[in-house]
Amino acid sequence: CDDDCAGLLIRDMDKLLRLITSANLTLPLPPPYKMLYRFENMTEELKSLQHMLSPQRAPERLLQLADSNLGSLVTEMDELLSRLQATKVSADGEQTDADAERSRKRAEELEMFVKNTLLAA
């Protein structure tokens, strides 16, 4: 049995038996932290992708929302202009000034919204 074929096999089986019997298999195995950490990172990436791809953040939806905001802003500015032309300088000047400031702020907000939408798309 101690030839180059069967002898090699028997020696390998003896080594394998010694390895198996020397291992303590009664203790619980430690968790695979590297793999768990990688899965956690992938989960976070997928969550952020899901947020970016949600229907509420779709570029078409954001542009539609910006368009509707722009429409209401134009309507407000038209009303402001007509009020300004009708009253010229009157006691209503403070209200007109407040309306103009509000419209200006909404225009700036809309501009930032459109810029952010285009950058996100």
pTM over the 0.85 mark: no
> Nearest 5°: CA angle at 5, between 4 and 6?
110
pLDDT tier for residue 86 given thresholds of 50, 70 and 90: low
pLDDT, one tens digit per residue, over 10-48 is 888 999 999 888 877 677 777 778 887 888 888 888 787
116 or 56: which carries more pLDDT confidence?
116
pLDDT, one tens digit per residue, over 88-120 is 555 556 777 777 888 888 888 887 888 887 777
Instruction: Give every CB contact of residue 63 below 8 A, 6+ residues apart in sequence.
Output: 117
- For 16-48, b where at least 16 C-beta lie within 10 A, e where not — what string? eeeeeeeeeeeeeeeeeeeeeeeeeeeeeeeee
Domain ranges of the chain: 67-120
Residue 39: which H helix or E strand, with range?
helix 33-52
- In this prediction, residue 14 carries a pLDDT of 92
53-66 average pLDDT score: 70
Q: Which residue has the tokens 């407040």?
A: 98
